[in-house]
Amino acid sequence: MTTVIGISGSVLLDPIYSPVIIKRSYVNEQYVEAIAQEGAVPFIIPVTDPSYIPAFIARIDGLLLSGGYDVNPYEYGEETLSRAGESYPERDFFEKALLLEAVAQGKPVLGVCRGAQVINVTYGGSLYQDVSYASHAKLQHLQATDGAFPVHDVKLTKYSCFAKIFDKEVIGVNSFHHQLIKELAPGFKATGKTSDGVIEALEKEGDLFVAGVQWHPEQMYHQNDDMKRLFRAFIEYSAL
C-alpha cells in the first residue's frame, strides 16, 4: 500500500480582488515533488477547522510540517520585538494541534524550518525572534543565493537519527531562517549544530520519529543526495 505523507499548508492573504481579501491555502511545490519522487503520495492539509484534525491524521502515515510564517512569539511567552517577522496565529494554533494529534496517533513527524520551530515551541521550547538577537550566530543564516546549494555545514551528533540517515557526521545545508531555536524543549535533543552553535536539527527522545531540521531540504532535493536520503528515510519511517 502506498505511503501517504501529509504536508501542512500555509495561507496566502491575497488582496488581488481588493477590497476583498481572498485566503488561499497552498504548499511550495518542492515539498510535493520530493515526496512524490520518493514514491509516496503527498496529501496537503489546509489550515481549517481544527475539528477535522483527527480525521486528517488518520488518513496519513507521516506528517511533514512545512516552512513559512514566523511562529508568533506569544506562543512561547514573549512579547513581539521590533525585528520579528510576520506571523499567522491561526496557523500556529492549527499546526500545534496537528502535531500533537500526529504523535498521539503514532505517526512520524518531520519539521522543516518553521516546522522545526513549531515542534520546539509546542513542547515548551522558545525561539530567538530574529538572528540579530542571538549574539552567538555569526554565520549567514539567511542566504541570498540559490537554495539548491549549501552555504554552511551542520555537525550531527554521533549515533543520532540524522547521523544514521545521512551516514555521516557533517553535512552541507542551505539557510533561510531569521528565527532560531533558543531554549530547547524538554524531552528533545539538539542533534545538529553549526560551527557558531546554532541548533539546526532536533529529535524527540523515544521510539517515535519526531524531528526537525532548520534548513530547507526540499530546495536541495534535486541537487543533493543527502536530502534525497532524508525524504526517503522519513517515508520509510512512515511506512512502518
Hey, which residues are catalytic here? 113, 216, 218
CA-only gyration radius of the chain, Å? 17
Q: Are 180 and 137 in contact (CB under 8 A)?
A: yes
Burial of 143 (0-12, 13-18, 19+ CB in 10 A): middle
The residue behind cell 542551505 is 174
Which residue is it, cell 491555502?
25
- Non-local CB neighbours of 90 within 8 Å, separated by 6+ positions: 11, 47
